[in-house]
Amino acid sequence: MATPVISKGFVDSIVKFRRNIHSRPETGFKEADTSAAILAELKTLGIPDSDIRVMAGTGIVADIRGTAAPIGSAAGSAGAAPAEGAPDGAVVIALRADMDALPMTEDTGDLPWASSRPGAAHMCGHDGHMANLLGVARLVAARRDRLPSDRVLRMLWQPAEEGPGGAAPMVAEGAMTGVAEVYGFHNWPTFPLGNAQIVAGPAMAHVTDFDVTVNGRGGHASAPHVLADPVLAASHCVVALQSIVSRCVPAADAAVVSVSTIHGGEVRNVIPSTVTFSGTIRTLSERASSIIAEKLPALVNATAAAHGCSAEVSLESLYPVLHNDPAAAEHCVRVAKATLGPDRAPSWGLPLMGGEDFGYFSAEAPGCYVFFGTAEQDRENHMLHSSHFDFNDRALPRTITFFTRLLEDRWGLAGSAASDGGGSAASAVSGSAGPLYSEEELPSFAGKGGVPPADWAPPAPSSTRTDRTEAVGSDAVAMGHA
């Protein structure tokens, strides 16, 4: 009987990599050590230098090619078609992992692998995303001899997701050339472990940040009638902005306008000359985005003027809407149901109003961004960006199994356990190849209470925190992270 490949030793090694990265976090475009650690791992997989490209400073694009006989475009199979510009008409499927940590200080207490670098911390779990991609790469590389030579795994190791954004420069440098389909994921602490939450269409929001300066005429707080009070004007502006979503954006078009900072004044008896405030706009359509981008400055300027003040407004459009291609989302749902369980690929809780620059990749080729749940009943499920957060390593066997099966599915490797819902009916398509791993070697989590024989549970770190995330369920508030 074949041995499951996701063994304790395999997971131990992936988790060790994850925790090592976690202990040495680096923020956007400073991921030098992280990049070096990934390159060292890629070397051990036997990837030639010619298939490794450094992009966007610290990012890496690396390809794993098969060495088995080519199978052409796998006519009759459900696999992806080669994209324009693909070398030798190969079907190139890209998987993306973000690399950066947040510029914040970790507060996980006695976690042995806690950040050793004050002011940098993997509080969004990108360390886990990298560990997943390494795990998938190891499984694919180990079966190069069964992978047709016209099938390619492209790894997109991307810096600076938390800002200013590494995806756009990587696309500009050619990371997506020849890619047929692209996939990625985020771990999500309000969704249950074992779930892959997937939605077709908009999955995450367009982000536009804004800064406002309200200028008035300051002076003694006892004589406001001879002044132009920017504190009062800014206050009215903040209230006025609450009417944009409710009165200007069509009700079926989701949008958020949040004012999240406000600063002004130094002393109780002085009205200042200037008040500043800033915030963020989130939308799921370009229509809503442009309505708000037009309305916000108009409303602020008019409101400030009504109080004898003037205003300067600046808007910065950041990440675009992350749009999941309906067909790509369907592939993910099919594979998730086969690998995780028939009820493990819901769409509740989505879309999210957070931002993600994966949208730059999925604008270049059909793609889907999946949210893997990490919440467990007996674990502290701290939300992303909490200083107490740590990636849940127990998600890794699931994500690695999912993405390996997804690759087989999209490469059109007939008989893939994922493609036929776990059955074994091998396709009779001429020239087709079989899956890289049999059902015994890479067991499904489906129908086994979510715990296949090869699942391995690293010990949960001890913690006395009390601010655990509430409500793991369909009403859970899912926050975006950008």
Closer Cβ to Zn ion, 151 or 481, answer by number: 481
**Selection from 395, 396, 402, 401 nearest residue 332 by Cα:** 402
Q: What is the widest separation between alpha-carbon atoms in the chain? A: 89
CB atoms within 10 A of CB 276: 16
Among 5, 42, 114, 124, binds Zn ion (CB under 5 A): 124
Give the H or E element holding residue 40: helix 32-44
Q: How far is the CB of 98 from Zn ion (least distance, A)?
A: 6
For Zn ion (CB under 5 A), the number of binding residues is 2
Q: How far is the CB of 124 from Zn ion (least distance, A)?
A: 3
Closer Cβ to Zn ion, 65 or 481, answer by number: 481
Closer Cβ to Zn ion, 82 or 373, answer by number: 373
Backbone φ and ψ for 336, nearest 5 degrees, come out as: -65, -40
Q: How far is the CB of 204 from Zn ion (least distance, A)?
A: 10
Q: What is the distance between the alpha carbons of residues 151 and 90, in angstroms, rounded to a whole number?
A: 5
Piece of 5-13, 14-22, 334-342, 473-481 that binds Zn ion (CB under 5 A):
473-481
Q: Is 100 a catalytic residue?
A: yes
Token reading at 204: 């995450």
Q: How far is the CB of 259 from Zn ion (least distance, A)?
A: 21
**Selection from 15, 329, 306 nearest residue 182 by Cα:** 329
CB atoms within 10 A of CB 425: 10
Piece of 118-126, 279-287, 304-312, 422-430 that binds Zn ion (CB under 5 A):
118-126
Closer Cβ to Zn ion, 382 or 481, answer by number: 481
- For residue 203, state whether it binds Zn ion (rule: CB under 5 A): no
Q: How far is the CB of 262 from Zn ion (least distance, A)?
A: 24
Catalytic residue, from 100, 106, 408, 455: name it: 100
Q: List 278's β-bridge partners, or say none.
A: 211, 261
For residue 108, what are the CA distances in angstroms to 80, 177, 248, 272, 354? 43, 41, 43, 41, 24
Q: In 296-431, which ranges are E strands?
A: 310-317, 322-324, 367-375
Piece of 57-65, 88-96, 121-129, 164-172 that binds Zn ion (CB under 5 A):
121-129
Position of minimal CB gap to Zn ion = 481
Catalytic residue, from 106, 127, 161, 376: name it: 161
Token reading at 227: 């002044």
Token reading at 130: 């990298």
Displacement of CA 205 from its chain's centroid (Å): 12
Closer Cβ to Zn ion, 258 or 290, answer by number: 258
Closer Cβ to Zn ion, 131 or 234, answer by number: 131
Using only C-alpha atoms, the chain has a radius of gyration, in whole angstroms, of: 25
- What does 198-256 look like in DSSP terms, one character per residue? --SEEEE-EEEEEEEEEE-B-EETT-GGGSB-HHHHHHHHHHHHHHHHHHHS-TTS-EE
Q: What is the distance between the alpha carbons of residues 335 and 332, in angstroms, rounded to a whole number?
A: 5
Q: How far is the CB of 163 from Zn ion (least distance, A)?
A: 9
Q: How far is the CB of 89 from Zn ion (least distance, A)?
A: 35
Q: How far is the CB of 372 from Zn ion (least distance, A)?
A: 12
- For residue 101, state whether it binds Zn ion (rule: CB under 5 A): no
- For residue 481, state whether it binds Zn ion (rule: CB under 5 A): yes
Percent helix / strand / coil, the chain, rounded to 5: 30, 25, 50
- Give residue for tokens 């395999």: 10
Token reading at 341: 């369980």
Closer Cβ to Zn ion, 184 or 346, answer by number: 184
Q: What is the distance between the alpha carbons of residues 372 and 388, in angstroms, rounded to a whole number?
A: 19
Piece of 116-124, 144-152, 187-195, 290-298 that binds Zn ion (CB under 5 A):
116-124
Q: Is 161 a catalytic residue?
A: yes
Piece of 45-53, 117-125, 263-271, 308-316 that binds Zn ion (CB under 5 A):
117-125
Closer Cβ to Zn ion, 166 or 264, answer by number: 166
- Residues lying near Zn ion in the complex (CB under 5 A): 124, 481
Q: Please give the positions annotated as active site.
A: 100, 161
